[in-house]
Structure 1
């Protein structure tokens, strides 16, 4: 059986293909480019044009993500993001009990996973300063790449604003005070950590699994390891694809239970 998993994220669209329960291939597209190049608008309904996408045949489709209710994926099963990320993290790590942290482009999610299922969760989609887009904006203010920004964690400048917009103004003020790029970048990373720390601490466990694009933020991982009481901090091999992988894993697990 060939399964297509689609995670329609706010910043990127991720596609994963499983064949007979095994990861086969993946694709990542900028969300705006994906809508422009591979979707059509018929009767005010946005639909994916699979002929343009040209990914070959598949037997079933499972979709999730920010755009799951705005984009029509023909004949697909639609599941919640939290469920998709839970299934993806279990499949990627082999763990059944852990706390899951996923920071997306426009929200952050913390899930308590027990026996391979979501037991509890906290979703923060109200504050832009606790998501990936905040880091992108602050990197632009500093005039450096996102990759460079996320590598700095030593001697962080104190940034106290709880608002992403005011945070930019505060950062500009710190630049004028003569702090180095390293210290400023570290301060940005630590300010993100401070905002997500309380919700992570709501679900104590020995294992923390970190997914999403921000899982590549080395500074954030350093802060987590130094200030929180997890014995293991696990980053799966494909953290950005976790939601799409979870879509496929969901279908595979449901299919095996029906046999």
Structure 2
């Protein structure tokens, strides 16, 4: 079996594959700050006695895995993973903890990509910070509204200030959240349009947010392709590159 380890900025993903089929996977809420010794412990727990022929590392923290047989860039792994789940996909949007990526792909090969990592706006971390500010008492997916508060800033720091200001004006949290989704969409959609993508895979932890998916689809005018577990796309791609 092939083991892949994808150490992202906020989570670490493990995938086991055999004959190009997913045997098992696991997601841990430990990102790039994780120590290799901790990764080794998690690997042993995940393996559960199963024989591993090869280990592949990817993600932000891929170079931390000294015991990996192969290290692959996450952008290339994402392309392979997208093709594994959706053979006719020509693009991928990945909203990670620290950056957003839009890939143009052909049969799993990355032809071009755009990486947005200079500002936290449009990332999972930005969404997390906004949730902290809002002090939500329900799951994020439970908040929805037909109305949408306007968050005009494209900078994460200023956007957070706008959210605090909206709260002080007693704007409902549901409307602010929809405004946050709009703000994220305003970051992603121009990147997608620049790439001229049609069949787009949506990956990353944020791809589990059904309300955000709806907002993105409305802005794009397209239905996004969502894997059953969108957080393991990169790890699956890494396995395929073993």
TM-score by length of 2: 0.90
Question: SS of the residue aligned with 2:144?
Answer: coil
Pick from 109, 116, 131: which aligns with 1:124?
116
Contact 1:85–1:243 (CA under 8 A) maintained in structure 2: yes
CA distance in 2, matches of 1:221, 1:17: 28
CA distance in 2, matches of 1:160, 1:92: 35
In structure 1, the partner of 2:207 is 215
In structure 2, the partner of 1:171 is 163
Instruction: Provide closer, same or farther for how the CA distance between residues 52 and 239 of structure 1 changes in structure 2, counting only shifts above 3 A.
Output: closer
CA distance in 1, matches of 2:76, 2:137: 32
In structure 1, the partner of 2:98 is 106
* 1:203 maps onto 2:195 in alignment: yes
The 10-residue stretch of structure 1 (18-27 or 218-227) with the greater mean CA deviation from structure 2: 218-227
In structure 2, the partner of 1:237 is 228
Q: Cα deviation per residue 1:80-110 (whole Å; 9 max; x = unaligned)?
A: 1111111111111232x41210000000000
Contact 1:157–1:183 (CA under 8 A) maintained in structure 2: yes
Contact 1:48–1:73 (CA under 8 A) maintained in structure 2: no
Contact 1:64–1:247 (CA under 8 A) maintained in structure 2: yes
Pick from 212, 226, 242: which aligns with 2:218?
226
CA distance in 2, matches of 1:121, 1:150: 33
Contact 1:153–1:186 (CA under 8 A) maintained in structure 2: yes
Question: SS of the residue aligned with 2:151?
Answer: coil
Question: SS of the residue aligned with 1:128?
Answer: coil
Instruction: Provide closer, same or farther for how the CA distance between residues 175 and 224 of structure 1 changes in structure 2, counting only shifts above 3 A.
Output: same
Q: How many residues align?
A: 239
Over aligned residue pairs, what C-alpha RMSD do you find? 2.2
Contact 1:108–1:131 (CA under 8 A) maintained in structure 2: yes
CA distance in 2, matches of 1:51, 1:61: 14
- Considering fraction of residues, name the structure with more strand: 1
Q: Cα deviation per residue 1:192-250 (whole Å; 9 max; x = unaligned)?
A: 111112111112232111011111122222122222243x4210111011111111122
* 1:62 maps onto 2:56 in alignment: yes
Shift of residue 120 of structure 1?
0.6
Gaps (5+ residues) in structure 1?
Answer: 41-46, 252-259
CA distance in 2, matches of 1:34, 1:76: 21
Instruction: Provide closer, same or farther for how the CA distance between residues 213 and 5 of structure 1 changes in structure 2, counting only shifts above 3 A.
Output: same
Contact 2:122–2:184 (CA under 8 A) maintained in structure 1: yes
Shift of residue 164 of structure 1?
1.4
Instruction: Provide closer, same or farther for how the CA distance between residues 130 and 34 of structure 1 changes in structure 2, counting only shifts above 3 A.
Output: closer
Q: Find the structure with the greater CA-based Rg.
A: 1
Contact 1:149–1:185 (CA under 8 A) maintained in structure 2: no
Instruction: Provide closer, same or farther for how the CA distance between residues 117 and 6 of structure 1 changes in structure 2, counting only shifts above 3 A.
Output: same
In structure 2, the partner of 1:152 is 144
Contact 1:150–1:220 (CA under 8 A) maintained in structure 2: no
In structure 1, the partner of 2:185 is 193
